[in-house]
Amino acid sequence: MDRIKIVGGHKLEGVIPISGAKNAALPLMIASLLTGDRLTLKNVPNLADVNLLARILRNHGVDHSIEGKRASPTPHLGETFHLTARDIVDTTAPYEMVSRMRASFWVLGPILARMGQARVSLPGGCAIGTRPVDLHLTGLKALGAEIDIDGGYVVAKAAHGRLRGGRVVFPKVSVGATHNVLLAAALAKGETVIENAAREPEIGDVANCLVKMGAHIEGIGTSTLRIQGRDSLEGAVHTVLPDRIETGTFAFAVAATGGNVLLEGARAGLLETALAALEQTGAVVTQEADGIRVRRNGSGVDPITIETQPFPGFPTDLQAQLMALMATARGTSVIRETIFENRFMHVQELARLGADIQLHGDTATIRGVKHLKGAPVMATDLRASVSLVIAGLVADGETTVNRVYHLDRGFERLEEKLSRCGARIERISAG
Ligand code: UD1
C-alpha cells in the first residue's frame, strides 16, 4: 500500500489549481442513467471514486469515454466524460460495487424511474457513523415506489410501472436522499415537491444539469425543490463546479503552515462559512478574478468555536482539517460535530503528532500546542486522512501517512499540488 511522506515546517507559496467537485461529479455521472442520449460532463476530477463509479455505471449499460488523453495538458480543467445509457442492461447494483462507495447507492432512484424497477445493495463508504438510507427509501416511497429489503438488497418497484410525482418532507437534511429523490423525480409522472431538501451547492449543480436535460425545476438552491417530471430527458453538456472541500482543505493548509497561495478556479460563494472561520483564525482571504487567495503571516493561529451544519453552515467535510489547523492555535478551540456521530477518528492520529484534544460525545476541545512532532499515522477515512497531511505539513520532522488510498478517493494529485507550492511531500509506492 502506498504511503505519503512529509517533512514539515515549510510554508506554502504559489498557485494550487482546484479540481471539479467529487460530490457533484458523482451524482452528475449517475444522472446519465436518466436518458438514452449522451451526457457530456466537463471538469471531471480524476479520482478513485469517479473511476469506480464509471465501472459501476458500465455494468448498468452506460457507455463511457474520456475525451482526449487521460492526462490533460491543463489538469485543473479536469477531464471531459461522455456518458451514454442507450439501454439499461442491468437494473441490479451488486454488493461488491456499492459496498465500496456509498454514493453508488444513488443509482437506485434513476434506475427505478427509468426502468420501473431496481435492485441495489445497501451501501458501504467511509466508516463515519451509522449512515442509514431510511430517508432515501421514504422519499422514493412518496413517489410510488414499493420497497422490500431482501438479502442485503433494496428491491424497488414502481407501482403501475412508473414513478409518479409526490410530496417528500425530509425530517432531516440529507444530501444523498435529496440527490436520489431529485434524480428520480425528473422522470416521474407529474409534480414532485421536496421539502427540507439539502442546499449543498452540489445539489444545485445536479439540478441545473437536469434542467439542461429538459426537466423543469423550481427552487434550485433553496430547501424546497419543485420538479415537473418528464416522460423522457435529453442529452446535455455540463461543467462540474469547483470542489469547495478541496478549496477549504488547501485554504486551511496555508493557514496552518503560513505562506500565500492562490487557489485557482475556487469560488468563495461555495464556502463562505468556512472562509469566515478561517479569517477568524487570523488568515487573510481575498477573492481574486481567477480564484481565492489565502495568506497568513507569522502572527499565529487564533482559536475558534464552531459546529458543523448542513449547507450553508460549516461543512462536516472540513471538520477534520479545521481541527488540524487548531492543533497549534494560541488557545483552546471547541468543535462540535452535528452531522455524523463517529467522525472523530482523526483525533487519536492527531494526538500521535502531539495534538492535545479531548473528546466528549460530539464535541472536541483542542488546546493549541506550540509544536507538533512528526510520526507515522494511519488514514482512516477520506477527510480525516487529509487532516493528517495538514498536521504533517506543520509538524517538525517526518510524518508518514499510511493507507493513502483513502486520500486517492477524493483528492486529485494532492502531493503534486502541495509540493509545487514548496511542501516537502512525496508518495512512496508500495511496489
Ligand atoms: C454526503 C457527502 C459527504 C458529506 C455528507 C454531509 C457525497 C458523495 N457525500 O454524504 O461527503 O459528508 O453529504 O454533508 O456527496 N441520514 C439518515 N438517513 C438517511 C440518510 C442520511 O439518517 O437515509 C443521516 C446520516 O447518517 C447523517 C446525516 O443524515 O447523519 C447526513 O447524511 P447525508 O447528508 O445523507 O450524507 P451523504 O449523502 O451520505
What CA–CA distance (Å, rounded) separates 355 from 326? 9
Which three three-digit cell numbers place residue 320?
A: 477534520
Residue 346, all three cell numbers: 482523526
Q: pLDDT at position 431, please?
A: 67
Instruction: Return the residue whose CA atom lies nearest to atom 29 of ligand 1.
Output: 174
Smallest CA-to-CA distance from 106 within 165, 47, 23 is with 23
Distance, CA of 188 to CA of 311 (rounded, Å): 27
> Mean of the pLDDT values across residues 80-104?
94
Q: Is the dihedral of CA 324, 268, 81, 101 positive or negative?
A: positive
Rounded to 5°, the CA angle 331-333-335 comes to: 170
> How many Å separate Cα 150 from the centre of its chain?
29
Instruction: Please name the residue whose Cα sits nearest to atom 4 of ligand 1.
Output: 317
pLDDT tens track for 154-202 = 999 999 999 999 999 999 999 999 999 999 999 999 999 999 999 999 9
- Strand, helix or coil at 406? helix
325: Cβ contacts below 8 Å, ≥ 6 apart: 252, 255, 256, 281, 301, 390
First vs last Cα of the chain: how many Å apart? 8
Contact (Cβ atoms closer than 8 angstroms) between residue 103 and residue 27 = yes
Closest residue by Cα to atom 1, ligand 1, is 175
Mean of pLDDT over the chain: 94
Which one of the listed residues 83, 107, 108, 126 is annotated catalytic?
126
pLDDT digits (tens, 9 = 90+) for 1-27: 889 999 999 999 999 999 999 999 999
Known active-site residue 421: no
Beta carbons of 111 and 180 less than 8 angstroms apart: no
Of 123 and 372, which is predicted with more confidence? 372
Q: Cα separations (Å) of 204 from 39, 209, 221, 336, 409?
A: 17, 9, 5, 27, 23
Cα distances from 89 to residues 34, 111, 213, 386, in angstroms, run: 13, 11, 22, 38
pLDDT digit string, tens, across residues 325-370:
999 999 999 999 999 987 899 999 999 999 999 999 999 999 999 9
Q: Tell me the mean pLDDT in the region 90-96.
A: 95
- Where residue 57 falls among pLDDT bands split at 50, 70, 90? very high
Q: What is the DSSP letter of 308?
A: B
Q: Is 333 helix (H, G, I), strand (E, B) or coil?
A: strand
Q: Which three cell numbers stand for residue 317?
A: 467535510
pLDDT of residue 380: 83
The C-alpha R_g of the chain, in whole angstroms, comes to 21
Measured in Å, residue 374 CA sits from the centre of ligand 1 at: 33
Check residue 71 and give its pLDDT.
53
Q: Which residue has better confidence, 431 or 387?
A: 387
pLDDT of residue 126: 47
Q: How far is the CA of 129 from the centre of ligand 1 (A)?
A: 10
Burial class (CB in 10 A: 0-12, 13-18, 19+), 106: buried
Q: Quick check: CB of 133 below 6 Å from ligand 1?
A: yes
* Total length of the chain: 431
Q: Residue 73, class by beta-carbon neighbours within 10 Å (0-12 exposed, 13-18 middle, 19+ buried)?
A: exposed
What is the rounded CA–CA span in Å between residue 378 and residue 371?
Answer: 20
Q: Which residue has the cell 503571516?
A: 297
Q: Could you tell me if the CB of 339 is within 6 A of ligand 1?
A: yes
User: For residue 84, what is its C-alpha cell?
Assistant: 451514454
Q: Cα of 132 to ligand 1 centre, how many Å?
A: 9
User: Given the DSSP bridges, would you call strands 332-336 and 305-307 parallel, antiparallel or unpaired?
Assistant: parallel
Query: Is 294's pLDDT higher than 60?
Result: yes
Q: Please check the confidence at residue 124 and state whether its pLDDT lies above 90.
A: no
Span 97-116, average pLDDT: 94
Grid cell digits, residue 247? 478549496
Top mutation candidate among 126, 131, 182, 321 for ligand 1, by most atoms within 8 Å of CB:
131
pLDDT of residue 128: 46
Nearest CA owner, ligand 1 atom 12: 317
DSSP 236-272: EEEEPPB-HHHHHHHHHHHHHH-EEEEEET--GGG-H
Nearest to 332 by CA among 350, 358, 296, 351: 358
Question: Strand 63-66 and strand 291-296: pairing?
Answer: unpaired
pTM exceeds 0.85, yes or no: yes
Reported as a single tens digit per residue, the pLDDT across 184-194 is 999 999 999 99
Q: What is the position in ligand 1's atom list of the atom closest to the CA of 135?
A: 23
pLDDT of 70 > 60? The answer is no
